[in-house]
């Protein structure tokens, strides 16, 4: 059976399983088994199993995933985010659109301390959505801003997605990806803030300021901000500082983050054995889900490669583009479309084995391309019909907010993500400058 035929069959089975509503990990693993049998090569499953044990279960870098998830749970229990939002809300209370700006800046801090999208959106939604609506914020602006800002966690380090990308991108370390994503992530967050400020300037009725009665003295406001800003800043410096300075590996930095987060919980008097056990249990569930998908995707790509489907897919993409930039545009378009139906885990694990050899073959900088993909993958949470951020917002939004309001609200931010991609293409130094400064090359 030709590679083109097996590629069509396995792709069809994958889509069929997903549209039938089966879990992604099961669909990937099941398609791998069926693909091997249909291709008449069931013996390749033994090779795939060896690859799973060698490339996945023995991958030291992936230990960072459960540790960062545990850190995120500890921070959620500590109440740091609630206090930080309250402090920033008072700081910007005199500014039109200040509440929206506070959402953006807190989301950037959340991204730099948790990297868990569901947690970031849920926490910000619970804290900020009702106050924003009560102060007269437009429903589309409020929901779109919270959903989009919460997605910064997969781009701004420490990001679980970047850790997974590093483990599947030959020659790239977690530190390089963290450094490469730092500037684009912060710049994208600032673009969100500029958009909110522009909306507040041209349409002040969409983002009004807080009433005078709720404002506090500047002294109390700054004391609150300093007290509440110190713990997350220490955490960020502990993680990223130790990693980027070369003191610790990604796995060791994740352990530092988990310990510091636990200390914050204890120092705030929020430690309870019940919540500690709950955090461990939730960490186990989340990590198992991610690693289960990794195992399924490894099986799928292994069979896809051995049976010739991978080569056929690469030949197809080569035929669509002659020059490197057109090739990159085609790949990004594929990722954008996949993002409407799959989450980032499946997209990364399915696309990297196909895209990265082509990127290397065309002489494209791998670090630049991977970060460009990371930026585009934020749309996978925002793009209907299956954007996870849309479902998170729908779950916490009050009844007066319609699903159409949420979808319309995220569209401008999807546009800003595309603008950010264009900026990275025009100015590659946004990605490459910091890694070159820290690591050379």
**Cβ neighbour number for residue 143 with a 10 Å cutoff:** 30
Residue 353 tokens, joined: 């084995």
Task: Tell me the pLDDT band of 279, cut-offs 50, 70 and 90.
Answer: confident
User: String of b and e for 195-220 (b: at least 16 CB within 10 Å)?
Assistant: bbbebbeeeeebbbbbeeeeeeeeee
Contact 354, 314 (CB under 8 A): yes
Q: What is the pLDDT of residue 135?
A: 79
Contact 390, 406 (CB under 8 A): yes
How far is C-alpha 120 from the chain's CA centre? Answer: 11
Helix, strand, coil percentages (3-state) for the chain, rounded to 5, are: 80, 0, 20
Closest CA to 150 of 92, 227, 72: 72
81 has pLDDT over 80: no
Task: Tell me the pLDDT band of 420, cut-offs 50, 70 and 90.
Answer: very high
Q: What is the pLDDT of residue 216?
A: 62
Rounded mean pLDDT, 355-378 = 90
Contact 131, 175 (CB under 8 A): no
Contact 189, 109 (CB under 8 A): no
CA distances in angstroms from 93 to 135, 140, 150, 184, listed in the order given: 11, 21, 21, 28
Q: What is the pLDDT of residue 410?
A: 92
Q: How many domains does the chain have?
A: 1
212 has pLDDT over 70: no
Task: Tell me the pLDDT band of 414, cut-offs 50, 70 and 90.
Answer: very high
Q: What is the pLDDT of residue 367?
A: 93
Contacts of 288 (CB under 8 A, 6+ apart): none
Cis peptide preceding 27, ω within 30 of 0: no
Closest CA to 74 of 339, 342, 254, 288: 254
Q: What is the pLDDT of residue 79?
A: 67
Angle between helix 80-91 and 64-78 (nearest 10): 60
123 has pLDDT over 80: no
Q: What is the pLDDT of residue 37?
A: 86
Q: What is the pLDDT of residue 191?
A: 94
- pLDDT tens for residues 151-160? 888 888 878 8
Q: What is the pLDDT of residue 297?
A: 81
Residue 12 tokens, joined: 């069809």
**Cβ neighbour number for residue 124 with a 10 Å cutoff:** 26
Q: What is the pTM assigned to this prediction?
A: 0.83
Q: Tell me the residue range of the domain where 380 lies.
A: 3-439
- In angstroms, how far is the first alpha carbon of the chain from the final one? 44
Task: Tell me the pLDDT band of 423, cut-offs 50, 70 and 90.
Answer: very high
Tell the burial category of 55 from Cβ atoms under 10 Å away from its Cβ (0-12, 13-18, 19+): middle
Rounded mean pLDDT, 64-74 = 81
Distance of alpha carbon 375 from alpha carbon 73, whole angstroms? 25
Q: What is the pLDDT of residue 93?
A: 65
Distance of alpha carbon 132 from alpha carbon 129, whole angstroms? 5
Task: Tell me the pLDDT band of 369, cut-offs 50, 70 and 90.
Answer: very high
Q: What are phi and psi of 228, to 5 degrees?
A: -85, -20
Residue 278 tokens, joined: 């709950």
Task: Tell me the pLDDT band of 401, cut-offs 50, 70 and 90.
Answer: confident
- pLDDT tens for residues 382-400? 888 777 788 778 877 888 8
Closest CA to 181 of 350, 342, 420: 420
Closest CA to 128 of 73, 86, 190, 74: 86
- pLDDT tens for residues 189-206? 999 999 999 998 888 888
**Cβ neighbour number for residue 274 with a 10 Å cutoff:** 7
Task: Tell me the pLDDT band of 282, cut-offs 50, 70 and 90.
Answer: confident
Distance of alpha carbon 52 from alpha carbon 57, whole angstroms? 7
441 has pLDDT over 60: no
Name which residue leads in pLDDT, 431 or 62: 431
CA distances in angstroms from 90 to 93, 155, 203, 213, listed in the order given: 5, 28, 22, 12
Distance of alpha carbon 340 from alpha carbon 353, whole angstroms? 20
Cis peptide preceding 64, ω within 30 of 0: no
Task: Tell me the pLDDT band of 218, cut-offs 50, 70 and 90.
Answer: low
Task: Tell me the pLDDT band of 118, cut-offs 50, 70 and 90.
Answer: low
Distance of alpha carbon 40 from alpha carbon 307, whole angstroms? 9
Residue 266 tokens, joined: 């204890």
Closest CA to 332 of 293, 362, 304, 370: 370
Please state which of the ranges 36-40, 163-167, 231-235, 302-306 shows the lowest mean pLDDT: 231-235
Rounded mean pLDDT, 256-276 = 84
Contact 196, 207 (CB under 8 A): yes
Pick the most confident of 281-295, 318-332, 408-422.
408-422
Q: What is the pLDDT of residue 417?
A: 94
> Residue 211 gets which letter from DSSP?
P
Q: What is the pLDDT of residue 194?
A: 93
Task: Tell me the pLDDT band of 210, cut-offs 50, 70 and 90.
Answer: low
Name which residue leads in pLDDT, 257 or 425: 425
The average confidence (pLDDT) of the chain is 82
Task: Tell me the pLDDT band of 362, cut-offs 50, 70 and 90.
Answer: confident
Angle between helix 64-78 and 117-124 (nearest 10): 10
């Amino acid at each position: 059976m030709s590679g083109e035929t097996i590629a069509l069959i396995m792709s069809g089975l994958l889509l069929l399983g997903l549209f039938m509503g089966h879990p992604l990990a099961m669909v990937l693993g099941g398609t791998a088994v069926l693909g091997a049998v249909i291709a008449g090569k069931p013996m390749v499953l033994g090779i795939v199993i060896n690859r799973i044990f060698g490339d996945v279960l023995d991958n030291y870098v992936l230990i960072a995933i459960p540790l960062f998830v545990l850190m995120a749970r500890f921070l959620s229990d500590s109440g740091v985010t609630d206090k930080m939002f309250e402090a920033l809300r008072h700081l910007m209370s005199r500014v039109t659109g200040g509440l929206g700006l506070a959402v953006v800046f807190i989301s950037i801090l959340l991204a730099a301390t948790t990297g868990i999208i569901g947690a970031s959106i849920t926490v910000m939604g619970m804290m900020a959505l009702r106050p924003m609506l009560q102060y007269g914020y437009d429903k589309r602006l409020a929901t779109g801003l919270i959903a989009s800002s919460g997605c910064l966690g997969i781009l701004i380090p420490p990001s679980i997605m970047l850790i997974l990308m590093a483990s599947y991108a030959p020659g790239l370390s977690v530190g390089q990806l963290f450094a490469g994503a730092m500037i684009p992530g912060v710049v994208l967050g600032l673009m969100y803030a500029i958009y909110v400020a522009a909306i507040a300037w041209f349409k002040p009725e969409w983002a009004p300021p807080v009433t005078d009665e709720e404002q506090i003295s500047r002294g109390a406001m700054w004391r609150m901000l300093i007290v509440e800003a110190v713990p997350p800043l220490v955490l960020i410096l502990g993680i990223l500082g130790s990693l980027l300075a070369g003191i610790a590996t990604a796995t060791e930095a994740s352990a530092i983050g988990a310990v510091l987060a636990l200390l914050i919980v204890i120092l705030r008097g929020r430690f309870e054995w019940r919540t500690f056990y709950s955090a461990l249990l939730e960490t186990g569930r989340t990590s198992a889900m991610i690693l289960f998908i990794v195992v399924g995707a490894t099986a799928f790509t292994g069979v896809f490669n051995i049976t010739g489907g991978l080569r056929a897919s690469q030949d197809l993409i080569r035929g669509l583009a002659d020059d490197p930039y057109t090739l990159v545009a085609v790949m990004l378009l594929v990722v954008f479309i996949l993002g409407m139906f799959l989450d980032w885990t499946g997209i990364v694990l399915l696309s990297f084995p196909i895209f990265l050899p082509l990127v290397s073959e065309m002489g494209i900088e791998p670090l630049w391309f991977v970060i460009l993909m990371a930026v585009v993958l934020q749309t996978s949470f925002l793009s209907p019909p299956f954007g996870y951020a849309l479902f998170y917002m729908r779950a916490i939004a009050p009844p007066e907010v319609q699903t159409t309001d949420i979808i319309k609200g995220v569209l401008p931010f999807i546009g800003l993500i595309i603008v950010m991609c264009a900026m990275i293409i025009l100015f590659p130094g946004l990605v490459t400058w910091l890694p070159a400064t820290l690591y050379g090359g």
